[in-house]
């Protein structure tokens, strides 16, 4: 973030990557010099559309609604850009709520999709920036931690905001209780895909360096809290990492597993996730009181 070269080791992740801290700006990051290139970490994918997948997605739409409410409290209508849109679920949801919605996915590349009120663009930002226009709200749901040059990108996005526009950023919280409990095996640590590991102070610093001021901190977004406790705990006991998460995401990461392996992981994940889910809600609620929830979510405006 600051260009500094003086760093101190935090710990090694279970995936074998060193997690280090810059001694100058204090930002924690993943030493990802041995990581595969983005084209391998973020391959294009097609989602299957089985009844089970559809019902899982509809159950999780409660979380999407929470994101929507948060955005609408800051900006009730207008043009919305969801940067790092993935399959476009959030952008499409907001289009349904009256926003003129654009989802931009810069990694899993493919053709542009057009629906009423919705454009889903799968191309790098630099290639399409000038054709997208200005936005009243730009959202980044757990995207910033994937970037090698966060200040550069945020500065570009700032220039795409219309007067009065707001930015909504959510990232995993390296200073969370979950991170402290699971350390190198924490689900949201996710090296080498997660390059940056933000804490409250470093997220605010990153935004300040990009010309933004934080206007609101959102203490509690249960989706990241529950997924973090459930998947981190399941990863301790199941051989295949992130099975439940990948099953819900449905982007082909489980294709190498046999049917028997899948059945075992599915049964164990479902059985384990019920009590873990119930426990995670009050724990995350308490964690949020001292800014130790799994995710940091802020609203920011150009300063």
Q: Tell me which residues touch Zn ion (CB under 5 A).
A: 1-2, 4, 22, 24-25
14 contact partners, CB below 8 Å, separation of at least 6: 184, 185
If the CB atoms of residues 87 and 196 are measured against Zn ion, the closer one turns out to be 196
If the CB atoms of residues 2 and 132 are measured against Zn ion, the closer one turns out to be 2
Buried b / exposed e over 191-208, threshold 16 CB at 10 Å, is bbbbbbbbbbebbbbbbe
If the CB atoms of residues 2 and 257 are measured against Zn ion, the closer one turns out to be 2
Question: Minimum distance between the CB of residue 171 and Zn ion, rounded to whole angstroms?
Answer: 17
Question: Minimum distance between the CB of residue 22 and Zn ion, rounded to whole angstroms?
Answer: 3
Question: Minimum distance between the CB of residue 35 and Zn ion, rounded to whole angstroms?
Answer: 20
If the CB atoms of residues 28 and 104 are measured against Zn ion, the closer one turns out to be 28
Let me know: does 238 contact 265? Beta carbons within 8 Å.
yes
If the CB atoms of residues 202 and 232 are measured against Zn ion, the closer one turns out to be 202
If the CB atoms of residues 1 and 238 are measured against Zn ion, the closer one turns out to be 1
Question: Minimum distance between the CB of residue 146 and Zn ion, rounded to whole angstroms?
Answer: 18
Q: For the chain, give the secondary structure using H, E and C.
A: CCCCCCEEEEEECCCCCEEEEECCCCCEEECCCCCCCHHHHCCCCCCCCCHHHHHHHHHHHHHHHHHHHHHHHHCCCCEEEEECCCCCHHHHHHHHCCCEEEEECCCCCCCCEEECCEEEECCCHHHHHHHHCCEEEEEEECCHHHCCCHHHHHHHHHCCEEEEEEEEEEEECCCCHHHHHHHHHCHHHCCCCCCEECCHHHHHHHHHHCCEEEEEEECCCHHHHHHHHHHHHHHHHCCCCCHHHHHHHCCCCCCCCCHHHHHHHHHHHHHHHHHHHHHHHHHHHHHHHCCCCCEEEEEEEEC
If the CB atoms of residues 209 and 262 are measured against Zn ion, the closer one turns out to be 209
Question: Minimum distance between the CB of residue 83 and Zn ion, rounded to whole angstroms?
Answer: 23
Question: Minimum distance between the CB of residue 8 and Zn ion, rounded to whole angstroms?
Answer: 11
């Amino acid at each position: 973030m600051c260009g500094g070269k003086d760093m101190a080791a935090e710990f090694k992740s279970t995936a074998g990557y060193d997690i280090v801290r810059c001694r100058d700006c204090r930002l924690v990051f993943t030493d990802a010099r041995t990581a595969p290139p983005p084209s391998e970490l973020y391959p294009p994918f097609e989602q299957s559309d089985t009844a089970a997948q559809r019902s899982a997605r509809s159950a999780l739409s409660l979380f999407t609604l929470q994101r929507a409410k948060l955005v609408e409290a800051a900006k009730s209508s207008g043009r919305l850009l969801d940067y790092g849109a993935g399959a476009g679920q959030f952008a499409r949801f907001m289009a349904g709520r009256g926003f003129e919605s654009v989802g931009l996915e810069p990694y899993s590349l493919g053709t542009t999709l057009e629906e009423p009120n919705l454009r889903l663009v799968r191309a790098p930002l630099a290639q399409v920036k000038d054709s997208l226009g200005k936005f009243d709200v730009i959202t980044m749901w757990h995207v910033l931690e994937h970037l090698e040059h966060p200040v550069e990108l945020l500065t570009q996005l700032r220039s795409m905001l219309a007067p009065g526009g707001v930015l909504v950023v959510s990232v995993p919280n390296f200073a969370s209780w979950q991170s402290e409990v699971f350390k190198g095996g924490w689900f949201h640590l996710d090296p080498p895909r997660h390059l940056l590991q933000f804490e409250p102070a470093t997220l605010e610093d990153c935004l300040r360096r990009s010309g933004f001021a934080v206007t609101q901190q959102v203490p509690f977004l249960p989706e990241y809290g529950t997924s973090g406790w459930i998947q981190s705990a399941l990863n301790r006991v199941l051989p295949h990492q992130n099975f439940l998460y990948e099953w819900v995401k449905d982007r082909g990461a489980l294709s190498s597993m046999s049917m028997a392996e899948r059945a075992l992981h599915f049964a164990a994940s479902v059985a384990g996730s019920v009590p873990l889910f119930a426990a995670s809600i009050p724990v995350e609620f308490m964690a949020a009181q001292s800014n130790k929830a799994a995710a940091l979510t802020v609203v920011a405006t150009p300063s």
